[in-house]
């Protein structure tokens, strides 16, 4: 199995791995005879700037026999805080991705609810890794992983729904402490003509959105980014590499449309600066085709925009019955094209008989905001069995709006799986009734983060799925469960999720899904996530990852691996 191991190690140490046609069969995981010993890891530690990390499951501090140095009170107090969770190398946004299910249905997990009497197990949490502070740290870690053929994962903040930030028995590159932020009002991409300048900000690998927003606001600027409670999502990691949607996208485009330059460490150990002028194929692929696939991103440079006032439209409605609720949601979906074309973007959630959504538009006057939203307000008010509240507010800046609604911890720490579907104009015009039935059934959410500017950008300008350029909204359904749920109970919920996946696929077969907010059970995932770009992306993957080091679930090239992503098929 590891016949080429000695030769490969020699080539890595000699620095000639760049052109090596690597094929090792299976990767090495903890417990295998090939796993490096303590002395070997000590050699790695001498090459990096920080001591190696030994990740634990988030709840392990509540089990003294497992993690005697932990503070259980701190865990309980901060369990839902995404920024706290992201500061822990073994913690994931959704704890179910910290767990591992064996073939016999037995779960290896560590639950916050200690009263269940279930021992704390490591589950899917990596066993050791590098606390990367510099590109050099990442280069050392990558070379080590290639040399010893290790199962490697990259962990940024742990906000993901396909589980790429964790793997059982793996070696992890943890980028959380790469926090450099540099604002440059005359930024020139490497290799670009001197007259091509941007008012740009360069963010280290794990700058989180709340940190990025604070920084650019100090310069009177704003930027396209994610909105979540606490702003704990990473701004230069998987968010961008999956596409990166925002409430500002209908006005300014997706995250991938606003990235100017990216630096990345590839499996050959090179640290590349990629943009439209150099390594343009890799720059194209990194913008939208999934994190953890081509290398370890060390920084991203984004364009920024003048800080502008925003109009904010808030709408809340209650329906007396399911029929009225479905009619309300169907109408709301049909109106989304008008909203996004006018530059509105935002988020909506619902229960079985109520819906709440808020949308913003930069630099729109109150009069224009009223004129834009009034047709929808009037339509909703005309529906039988519906009562509503609607109002326009103004904020002096996008940053003020963000701080008002999102500057609070939350939204993390629950066992969760989701599915999403990007809905095109055609689907909204012709299938809104059927989509509404699914959303009311799953009590789903939808994000108004496409259309407008997103639709005006050339589908071939970035590696993101071309269906984004026809999309208007993203709809989502999800399932959740309590600690200690059995494998049978979880499988029952997954079955329900698969029913919604099939339903979305049936009503919108050509619309695709958002890689960052999707399921491990999507139908025809290559097409669903990557569309017509897949074959080109796979060629780029093979070019820049000759060592086949970077493999994530349902990522480009993963069909060549087994379910555990440990052995090539």
pLDDT (tens digit, 9 = 90+) per residue, 291-343?
999 999 999 999 999 999 999 999 999 999 999 999 999 999 999 999 999 99
The 10s digit of each residue's pLDDT in 413-463 is 899 999 999 999 999 999 999 999 999 999 999 999 999 999 999 999 999
**How far apart are alpha carbons 264 and 139 in whole angstroms?**
10
pLDDT of residue 74: 97
- Joined tokens for residue 321: 């019955």
Whether the CB-CB separation of 254 and 464 falls below 8 Å is answered with yes
Whats the size of the chain, residue-wise? Answer: 569
Q: Under 8 Å CB-to-CB from 418, ≥6 apart: which residues? A: 161, 476, 477, 478, 479, 497, 517, 518, 519
Cα(533)–Cα(552) distance, integer angstroms:
18
> Phi and psi dihedrals of 297, rounded to 5?
-70, 130
Q: Which residues of the chain fall below pLDDT 50?
A: 1-23
Do 239 and 259 touch, CB atoms closer than 8 A?
Answer: no
Distances (CA, A) of 177 to 212, 295, 301: 14, 18, 18
> How is residue 391 written in tokens?
């109002």
Q: How far apart are CA 48 and CA 126, in angstroms?
A: 19
Confidence (pLDDT) at 412: 81
pTM (predicted TM-score): 0.94
Residue 410: predicted pLDDT: 73
Containing 142, the helix (H) or strand (E) segment is helix 135-147
- Helices 425-442 & 322-341 angle (0-180, nearest 10): 140
How far, CA to CA in Å, does 504 sit from each of 203, 368, 432, 499? 36, 34, 11, 9
> What is the per-residue pLDDT for 24?
54
| pLDDT reported for residue 129 | 98
DSSP 8-state class, residue 525: H
- State residue 122's pLDDT score: 96
| Residues 527-545 pLDDT 10s | 999 999 999 999 999 999 9
């Amino acid at each position: 199995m590891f016949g080429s191991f000695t030769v490969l190690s020699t080539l890595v140490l000699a620095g000639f791995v760049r052109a090596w046609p690597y094929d090792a069969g299976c990767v090495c995981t903890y417990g295998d005879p090939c796993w490096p010993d303590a002395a070997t890891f000590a050699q790695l530690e001498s090459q990096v700037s920080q001591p190696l990390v030994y990740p634990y499951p988030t709840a392990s501090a509540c089990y003294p026999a497992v993690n005697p140095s932990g503070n259980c009170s701190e865990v309980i107090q901060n369990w839902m805080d995404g920024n706290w969770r992201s500061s822990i190398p073994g913690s994931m946004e959704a704890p179910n991705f910290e767990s591992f299910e064996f073939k016999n249905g037995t779960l290896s997990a560590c639950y916050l609810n200690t009263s269940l009497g279930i021992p704390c197990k490591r589950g899917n949490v990596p066993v050791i890794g590098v606390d990367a502070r510099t590109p050099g740290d990442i280069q050392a870690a990558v070379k080590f992983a290639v040399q010893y053929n290790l199962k490697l994962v990259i962990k940024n903040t742990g906000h993901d729904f396909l589980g790429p930030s964790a793997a059982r028995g793996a070696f992890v590159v943890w980028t959380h402490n790469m926090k450099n932020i540099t604002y440059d009002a005359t930024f020139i991409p490497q290799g670009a003509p001197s007259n091509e300048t941007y008012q740009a900000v360069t963010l280290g690998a794990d700058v989180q959105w709340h940190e990025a927003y604070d920084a650019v606001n100090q310069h009177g600027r704003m930027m396209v980014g994610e909105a979540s409670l606490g702003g704990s999502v990473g701004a230069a990691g998987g968010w961008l590499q999956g596409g990166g949607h925002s409430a500002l996208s209908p006005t300014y485009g997706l995250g991938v449309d606003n990235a100017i330059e990216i630096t990345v460490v590839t499996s050959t150990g090179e640290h590349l600066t990629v943009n439209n002028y150099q390594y343009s194929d890799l720059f194209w692929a990194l913008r939208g085709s999934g994190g953890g696939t081509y290398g370890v991103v060390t920084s991203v440079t984004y364009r920024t925009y003048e800080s502008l006032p925003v109009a904010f439209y808030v709408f809340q409605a209650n329906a007396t019955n399911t029929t009225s609720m479905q009619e309300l949601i169907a109408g709301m979906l049909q109106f989304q094209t008008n909203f996004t074309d006018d530059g509105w973007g935002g988020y909506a959630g619902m229960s079985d008989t109520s819906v709440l959504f808020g949308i913003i538009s930069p630099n729109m006057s109150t009069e224009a905001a009223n004129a834009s939203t009034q047709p929808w307000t009037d339509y909703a008010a005309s529906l039988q069995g519906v009562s509503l509240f609607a109002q326009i507010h103004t904020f002096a800046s996008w940053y003020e709006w963000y701080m008002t609604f999102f500057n609070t911890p939350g939204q993390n720490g629950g066992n969760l799986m989701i599915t999403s579907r990007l809905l095109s104009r055609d689907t909204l015009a012709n299938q809104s009734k059927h989509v509404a039935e699914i959303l009311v059934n799953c009590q789903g959410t939808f994000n108004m983060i496409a259309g407008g500017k997103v639709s005006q950008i050339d589908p071939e300008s970035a590696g993101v799925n071309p269906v984004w350029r026809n999309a208007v909204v993203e709809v989502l359904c999800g399932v959740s469960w309590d600690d200690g749920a059995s494998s049978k109970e979880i499988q029952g919920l997954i079955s329900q999720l698969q029913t919604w996946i099939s339903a979305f696929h049936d009503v919108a077969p050509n619309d695709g899904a958002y890689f960052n907010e999707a399921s491990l059970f999507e139908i025809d995932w290559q097409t669903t996530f990557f569309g017509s770009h897949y074959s080109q992306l796979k060629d780029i993957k093979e070019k820049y990852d000759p060592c086949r080091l970077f493999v994530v679930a349902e990522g480009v090239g993963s069909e060549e691996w087994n379910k555990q992503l440990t052995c090539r098929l």
